[in-house]
Structure 1
């Protein structure tokens, strides 16, 4: 390796370039890191989480370049807290928080300054965990910090020598991780998060040694690099807790230790990163809503996330499916079938005033309708951000040949466009984003049809053709009990409500073939809705055709079950799915008491749903 003149200091500019090359080096190994991820949970996303975390950090510098090293690190640390993903990402963010705090006053970092900062970073990272474990990223961070300290103590060390030695010692510590953690030894792999840090360090060292921002070939997101792939197949039991839960808490003079104590009994893998004005929470739990509520007692909660690790573990062990199916929570699907069919659901955001929630994760449907009744603020729903789609797409691309992402009609929501924006940034992944042109139970039926075909081992083309065929044969209607909620949400004019109430009508909404959701008819009268709506739907089922039926309700389970039972009797050839509660995406505008029915005409040779 050619050597350039010794580098006596790092300023913000040089730090940014070195970090940029380090991030690209890590990206080149993203697939490999996903494949060897077995601790703390074998959910196959460590490479993706570290990549997203470090991209966020780099974005903090790109947005506003900074020559002052201390201020540059402060921006990196702050961006890292906002963008940290997963256990390793949260630990990495806290490491940079320690670097930042220790280096804050220095415009240029000398080896001595850097040694003090590295020690602070390793200490911060260890203190952030409720149960620190050796054989993880923590062990390699400690080895790195000690190597930097020893080199700096020699007084003649420059940054090239310092990082050369620190990289060697970090690689040695990485190789020892299987001896320290039995789960790694059993799988025959090193710790994925620790290896991610070593890759970052290697890229930074290469930049400083070679004197240019040399970028390694970009990682192939969709393919497998083959190395260590599936090394942990069958070795890991299901994670004790289901959701990898994260949020950022903003406040004044918050106490991280008290927040840690409050969350300790809520799950495991708890990491509290950050400073007293901004804390990043990472927790594995079965009740994300409880964790978010506890965090809200310390400050304002932002950036809520709850990934289903049980589903991710199934993805890691996937051998028969070529295609992953993704949708958003506007799709109303029975919970049991979401699990059985392996569907990945990205939650819609729900806001009451200043309080924000994740549909069906941090707010259940029962809580939503209770809040809808009690809160003077009418709820607003918004699509997931492109970054949320990008994160799930990157993880799934490590385990599937293709991804088909099916979403609520683009005529009524920006969700489809958000998913398209994310897919365009992942050029090497085979991602197909589909506008369902439907809502609620109709969207749910289309997603299930695609997931069933994918479960047969079909490729993306066959799944898309199957879904497209069923899209034209899927109808959905909603009998709206009270138009006032549509008026409050701005979807219905007050004049229309006055006419409907004066004539004692029950409006029926439908999703048309172009995706527009509007009036599909009326029921005469505002009583006996189940009876009238049953007739309305049954008359639209053609004789001699076989249908699948999905009925939903907006906090009206008794009426929903009555509708389901009545339609079973009225439509001779029908397979009925379990009753499903309708979520906020429709419920915020249709209101409590609304009933939804979707009929999907099935092929003669389709297996009937029991």
Structure 2
């Protein structure tokens, strides 16, 4: 029979939390499958797992016998790692517990109950529109029961957890009737289930031995479980998050300004560090408002419309991911379900998410206006990890196709992230040896094959054959921007201008982006570019073509017409605004052409 546990010092509390987190991590796929509120986008399990994994890492890194210090460390890690609605709520719950227990080296059941009650209050205050039937309800009911039990003089943690967990389980089952979305899908709230998982893991460890190290839990597969809910058109498409740090963040005013932008607002944290979670249509508005209150970091914006389509798409079993360097029309992204991980763009102190916080047109306008030349940086591995975790729980395989490793570390970041994912063996990361339009053509072809039902091995074999055959050519608008960015020396620009030379940049089979030739004279440059490209295409072969332009739409359409006249077998083509990767070096007027053998070839 288990010995009574009358108090929790920091070491014991750490072990209990780690045991609970292991239980939650084991259940992440099931949580993803039952996630229907507020959006059925299949990511609650991943978000809670990533949030609490940050806590797990922090607690493993350093032990402390002081309970209050342990809770403060857990709360800080949860805030930094918070993902999604439920993750932000959990972080705020731990923050409330930590503030209540700050001075206690060890917690009695009464002190623990007070801390839990304070945590529940913090969690509720973090939401702009609290809804019953969610994780918030179960946290509140658990807190009320622990307070009631502690008030009766119950001193044993084993008894306290056993009885309070029974109340939490009952509250969890009631969520299936409290929200229409849950009632229609016949499931309980996913975030609430995750919180109960956490409590169950803690109780199980109390039953075993509170002074023993918790074992790692086995991951529960949900392969045979149907994803609950249905796909709906969303009033707010992007799940947007960021972290603010400052000396005295006015959270009341910040909440007021954010509340006008969207829905599902959670504002967690303190006056020194705050985590924002909100659903909006324009993430840039959120980042702009947040930047007025402190230093902005950890921006992300997930496309929930695309995520919920992926979670419920039972026709294709391979998900395709790429980064924002790939230039793909929005309608094709939606039609083919291609998932994008954005790079970062930095204008001085101002940071943006590529194509999310800053559109192609907005980037070009800022490039011309701002005297500070922008810098781009690869997505952190955590962005890829989260995307891979979500998709791997809904698809048999994930193929991630990225900008050439010769110019960016994005491919390496994706590879690193894949190794951390639970189902890393189902994730393939490919270097496209390409950029922009060419990279986009490769991702499009992979997504088409996935929609036709091909498996990952078949898709990979086809794309590997296409990589050296897919080329991208760029005619920059002005060498001034390449000089500003340090890519070209001023003397080279002077010589080129004096001789009326226009270099044609191109991707090479080994992934380099380098000059492939020169156009002489300033007149009829598009005509000369067409001749240059067509001379490198096979006459009897069919091609797909994509053209990107930097504020030169008319010129791009003219270029396409000339290409069609010069080569009779262009099977399909698209024209779109050019992303930041090449326009940053060429400025307005830059034209980029991607060429790829058509499937019939």
- TM tier, shorter chain? over 0.9
Q: Secondary structure at the match of 1:578?
A: strand
Cα distance in 2 for residues equivalent to 1:603 and 1:509: 26
Q: TM-score, normalised by structure 1?
A: 0.95
Cα distance in 2 for residues equivalent to 1:448 and 1:107: 57
Question: Is 1:421 matched with 2:419?
Answer: no
Question: Is 1:22 matched with 2:20?
Answer: yes
Cα distance in 2 for residues equivalent to 1:480 and 1:231: 49
Q: Secondary structure at the match of 2:260?
A: helix
Does structure 2 retain, via aligned residues, the 8 Å contact 1:25–1:215? no
Q: Structure 2 residue aligned with 1:452, among 438, 444, 448? A: 448
Q: Structure 2 residue aligned with 1:333, among 314, 322, 328? A: 328
For 1:338-353, list aligned pairs within 5 A. Answer: 338-353=333-348
Q: Secondary structure at the match of 2:404?
A: coil
2:94 maps to what in 1?
Answer: 96
Structure 1 unpaired stretches of 5+: 606-610
For 1:305-454, list aligned pairs within 5 A. Answer: 305-426=300-421, 428-429=423-424, 430-454=426-450
Does structure 2 retain, via aligned residues, the 8 Å contact 1:253–1:277? yes
Q: Structure 1 residue aligned with 2:252, among 248, 251, 257? A: 257
2:76 maps to what in 1?
Answer: 78
Q: 1:561: how far off?
A: 2.3
Alignment RMSD: 1.6
Cα distance in 1 for residues equivalent to 2:524 and 2:78: 56
Q: 1:225: how far off?
A: 4.6
2:193 maps to what in 1?
Answer: 195
1:47 maps to what in 2?
Answer: 45
Q: Structure 1 residue aligned with 2:144, among 138, 143, 146? A: 146
Deviations 1:95-131 (A, max 9, x none): 1111111111222222122111111111111111111
2:567 maps to what in 1?
Answer: 571
1:608 maps to what in 2?
Answer: none
Deviations 1:234-272 (A, max 9, x none): 4x5232211011111122322222222112221111111
Deviations 1:269-310 (A, max 9, x none): 111111111111111111111111112222222111100100
Q: Secondary structure at the match of 1:114?
A: helix
Q: Secondary structure at the match of 1:94?
A: helix
1:531 maps to what in 2?
Answer: 527
Cα distance in 1 for residues equivalent to 2:183 and 2:64: 43
Q: TM-score, normalised by structure 2?
A: 0.96
Bigger shift: residues 343-352 or 70-79: 70-79
Cα distance in 2 for residues equivalent to 1:63 and 1:428: 25
Q: Secondary structure at the match of 2:106?
A: coil
2:264 maps to what in 1?
Answer: 269
Question: Is 1:230 matched with 2:227?
Answer: yes
Question: Is 1:246 matched with 2:244?
Answer: no
Cα distance in 2 for residues equivalent to 1:552 and 1:489: 21
Question: Is 1:176 matched with 2:174?
Answer: yes
Q: 1:407: how far off?
A: 0.2
TM-aligned CA distance change 1:487 to 1:16, over 3 Å = farther
Q: Structure 2 residue aligned with 1:515, among 505, 511, 525? A: 511
Does structure 1 retain, via aligned residues, the 8 Å contact 2:368–2:587? no
Q: Secondary structure at the match of 2:585?
A: helix
Cα distance in 2 for residues equivalent to 1:362 and 1:196: 31
Cα distance in 2 for residues equivalent to 1:216 and 1:226: 23
Bigger shift: residues 148-157 or 82-91: 148-157
Deviations 1:51-93 (A, max 9, x none): 0011112233334433322122222212212211111111111
2:108 maps to what in 1?
Answer: 110
Cα distance in 2 for residues equivalent to 1:603 and 1:74: 57
Cα distance in 1 for residues equivalent to 2:552 and 2:11: 60
TM-aligned CA distance change 1:465 to 1:205, over 3 Å = same
Count of residue pairs the alignment pairs up: 598
2:281 maps to what in 1?
Answer: 286
Does structure 1 retain, via aligned residues, the 8 Å contact 2:470–2:594? yes
Cα distance in 1 for residues equivalent to 2:64 and 2:521: 67
Cα distance in 2 for residues equivalent to 1:531 and 1:225: 54
For 1:1-40, list aligned pairs within 5 A. Answer: 2-3=1-2, 5-40=3-38
Cα distance in 1 for residues equivalent to 2:523 and 2:242: 45
Q: 1:216: how far off?
A: 5.0
Deviations 1:373-409 (A, max 9, x none): 1222211111111111010101001111000000000
Cα distance in 2 for residues equivalent to 1:354 and 1:77: 28
